[in-house]
Structure 1
């Protein structure tokens, strides 16, 4: 998952729902990593056309590079980008092989630059280490749509689009804080299972969580950092549960690692607390809907951002703006809102979920 914009780059932040390119206006089928015989995966959400934006323009080629699909969220990113490109008769989509090797990703993007694609959508393995290749593309006249993990310099991209990591923490903290306050819990023990601690995105999520809880007079209690995998989630949750014999609530940053988190909770036979997830996977939403685990909510960080990134790349490459905006140019940054999904509204969000 991503790094959010630094404060200096956050001068223009737009909620995606206001752009007229919001994902989910239509759905299209795509392959998924759902197990055979399991529940069907949600279709890839695609951005709906809005006014003049839906009119065919000049033919453009959009290059695409992202990490390898080592978990459901990344798989959904690639599926959504392809599904969105398929909506446009004026777009040739040119993805390179996904990889978790930074040197290989740099080489793949350089290949797209040499092919003179009209625009690039890049979700870097590491924003800092791919900043130089983003700048190479921009200096070659190829606009870069920087998806999710942000480059170090605004000179490396035309537009950044991604989720609100701090807002995820705020949403989770507000849900937990309000629920505990309503239950009359005075001094709750609130656990946190984070992602990778040295990533700015994890730090931002944790800061938002702590700040929101503070408004209720609460504080974060036992905290463990995992690695956005089910295996890591299970391992660190087992440690956290051993160290904390009593909990009132837990926030897990990521629904992919949440598979392991829930497994550890079930193995420990613990049920005295409730849990909030993160990202909005379909399996997490189904668990919330069925209401038979400690998982009662999740806060969104939707991979539908990839659908909108392709839409934005098309408009930029064609020299067009957003038809519902007064400005002639596509914005320099687009930040998605983080919604809180509960049993009451899960039906609205389930079609946008991704399979972990």
Structure 2
């Protein structure tokens, strides 16, 4: 196990053994905004359900939520972070547990933007504050905090189009059917549509947002298509998997652009030997910190000016990677 994997494992261990525990044993704290003067309400508990805690992006999101909750509510606040593993049924159960435990607010990174609606509706009917993060949901939440995912797709694929000078074969390595992924792909397709000499070879293969998925999908695509000039991966873990597939197949004929600004992607971009050329950065820590801030304001009777809060994406390339601070 390399140093990076050890660090990630240590972080996950600290989450599991510290404040991230099953929420069904959390006592009823009586913090219900509907029957309490908002001025006297104190944040006591936050429930966070994220896509996949084996992905460092979500580990950083968990850290951001926990840190902001303790900053607002003190050491007595209870932050419960769980991983859905992109399993809709599991996330349903997690939200039901948060509601049963009378959690003050639920921070939701949806496993399925459409399918999660009944669980969100039940939580809202129970008077719970629900803030969507990273990906919007097709449900009535109190607020949504996301990266500007359309912009992330646009700047990524504009880089591809510019580098190819408007001509070449492009592959999109897609991901889970959540709004953030759909928006990134839509942004990419909008840009590529302006270039009639760019041929899109594949756009629907779901790599599940993971390194293993990226390796699997790209290995198949490399067999199918002998000539590829560029790959847009919907996130950096799948992009890293694409890079691994290229190394295994000894293919060097294309470059990779991802989304996240993940540490390993930044390292790959900085390397002279990597096919990784760029990544549209996100701010996972900032997203959940903002979500907890907004949820706390709502708990105290103050709604945000706009329920949709977008965080701009920036493109990191080999030309500016030395100035990137990462997560």
Q: TM-score, normalised by structure 1?
A: 0.72
Displacement of 1:263 after TM fit? Answer: 1.0
Displacement of 1:89 after TM fit? Answer: 4.2
Residues 281-290 or 92-101, more deviating? 92-101
Structure-2 separation of matches of 1:260 and 1:89: 40
Residue deviations 1:127-168 (CA, integer Å, cap 9, x gap): 3333223223323332211223333222xx111112233222
Q: Give unpaired runs (5+ residues) of structure 2.
A: 12-38
Indicate conservation of the 8 Å contact 2:49/2:83, yes or no.
Answer: yes
Q: Partner residue of 1:319?
A: 301
Q: Partner residue of 1:147?
A: 133
Indicate conservation of the 8 Å contact 1:65/1:105, yes or no.
Answer: no
Displacement of 1:261 after TM fit? Answer: 0.9
Q: Partner residue of 2:49?
A: 66
SS at match of 1:88: helix
Q: Partner residue of 1:34?
A: 4
Structure-2 separation of matches of 1:204 and 1:117: 31
2:325 is the counterpart of 1:339: no
Indicate the structure with greater helix content.
2
Indicate conservation of the 8 Å contact 1:160/1:334, yes or no.
Answer: yes
Structure-1 separation of matches of 2:108 and 2:162: 38
User: Quick one: which of 229, 234, 237 aligns to 1:253?
Assistant: 234
Displacement of 1:204 after TM fit? Answer: 3.0
Q: TM-score, normalised by structure 2?
A: 0.78
Indicate conservation of the 8 Å contact 1:222/1:240, yes or no.
Answer: no
Residue deviations 1:29-58 (CA, integer Å, cap 9, x gap): xxxx932389x99xxxxxxxxxxxxxx995
Q: Which has the higher contact order (CA 8 A, sep 6+)?
A: 1
Structure-2 separation of matches of 1:233 and 1:86: 36
Structure-2 separation of matches of 1:349 and 1:296: 14
Q: Show the 5 A alignment for 1:295-314.
A: 295-304=276-285, 305-314=287-296
Indicate conservation of the 8 Å contact 1:60/1:318, yes or no.
Answer: no
Across the aligned residues of Structure 1 and Structure 2, the Cα RMSD in angstroms comes to 2.9
Residue deviations 1:295-341 (CA, integer Å, cap 9, x gap): 111112432312221121122212346xxxxxxx4421112222111
Residue deviations 1:251-297 (CA, integer Å, cap 9, x gap): 12221122221111112222232221122111101111223211111
Q: Partner residue of 1:8?
A: none
Residue deviations 1:65-112 (CA, integer Å, cap 9, x gap): 314413232222222211222333457233154333434433332333
SS at match of 2:44: strand
